Each structure stands twice: as structure tokens, then as C-alpha cells.
A and B are shown apart, each in its own frame.
Chain A
Amino acid sequence: EIVLTQSPGTLSLSPGERATLSCRASQTVISNYLAWYQQIPGQPPRLLIYGASSRASGIPDRFSGSGSATDFTLTISRLEPEDFAVYYCLQYGSSPRTFGQGTKVEIK
């Protein structure tokens, strides 16, 4: 199975700053089927990005995804207070589908 490694484990930033999150796959992600989710405590994961770079419906354009093959990035251009949360990547090109362990974006 494909192992996804996210870095850093925790990112401490201030509102208005830029956040760059990494997701590295142990094998090539087929068709760049890589998604990003945001999870706020007590809530289910919320889809942000699919297909490595396509924003899901209703997601603000400060969220962007990039990358291919084994290296993927989620960028939040300017952090809003509601963006402080845990972010997960998911690969859905190969079975079994697998998630990364998460990156926590916390207020500095």
C-alpha cells in the first residue's frame, strides 16, 4: 500500500501568513489522485482539493494544491482564523486508499 508522509507535523503561524504543507508518497500516485482535507475538532474531514489541484465546491481560492507523482503541496496563501486546523492528504488512485498522518496548523 502507498504510505503518505506529511510534513511538518505542526506548523505555527500567525493570521495573514502563508502556510505550505507537504505530502510525500512512497510510490507514484496514479493519475495524481491526491486530495486534501481540513478537520476542525469535533467535525468530520472537509474536502478542500482533489486531483492534486482542483478546488472542491465552495472552497476559497486562498487554498491551492500542486504537485505530481510522489510530491504534493497544499498552500494557504493568507491564513484566516478559521483555517487553524489539522490537514490530511489522501491518495485514492490505488487500493487500499490511504491517508497521511496529518499536519496541525496552529496559531503562533
Chain B
Amino acid sequence: QVQLQESGPGLVNVSETLSLTCTVSGGSISEHYWSWIRQSPGKGLEWIGYIHYSGITNYNPSFKRRVTISVVRSKNQFSLELSAVTAADTARYYCARLGKTDGYVFDYWGQGTLVTVSS
């Protein structure tokens, strides 16, 4: 059974870069696409972007100029960097797997990690 676990700072200062890592266990990162999604009371669930182990990425235009998702194959991890954060980026951040169904739906999720942006 695949498991995902987010890790990273729970507090980030305004204008700085939010950095999170997702560690995948129970499966190889090279076999799927992987995604970041966030959830906040104000905006609900928002898809941030996804990556394939080959390096192919697709980002939500709402984040495009600020976001980078990358893979660390040797550690079976992928990461999220979101630059120039504001209070609006305060949210619970989830990593998720895109399953091999037609269309690639998010089938496994991590428990999420709460990130607060502080001034």
C-alpha cells in the first residue's frame, strides 16, 4: 500500500519561499505522476501542479510564476517550492499520487501539513 508523508516548516515569513517535501513509501516514484494540492477555508481545495519522474511538469496558472515542483529519485521524494508567499498562502498542503486510471485521478493522499505565513 503506497503511503505519502509531507514534511517541512510549519511557519514561513511573508515574501519568503515555502518549501515542502513529500516522501513516498510502498511504491516507486518512477511509476506515476505526483501532485501538490492545498486547502484553505477561504479558497477550498486548489490544485497547484504535478510532476512526472522524467521531469515533465504542469502547473496551475494561478501559481505558475511562483511554483517549482521537482523529483529526487534517489530518495523517492518530490518537493514543492512556492516563492514570495503572502498570508493568502496559509493552508494545509497535501501531496497526492495520480493513479493510472484514464485521466489520472488523485487516488492516494498524504495526511497534509499546515503551513502558516506570518508577517
Contacts and interface: CB of A to CB of B under 8 A. Distances in A.
Interface of A: 31, 33, 35, 43-47, 50-51, 54, 56, 88, 90, 92-93, 95-102
B17 to A, nearest CB: 22
A97 B47 contact: yes
Interface residue range, chain B:
20 to 34
Question: Is chain A's binding surface mostly helix, strand, loop or mixed?
Answer: loop
A89 to B, nearest CB: 10
A90 B111 contact: no
B103 interface: yes
A88 to B, nearest CB: 6
Nearest to A91: B103
B44 A101 contact: yes
B66 to A, nearest CB: 14
Interface in B67-119: 94, 96, 101-107, 109-112
Contacts of A93: 103
B103 A47 contact: no
Contacts of A97: 47, 60
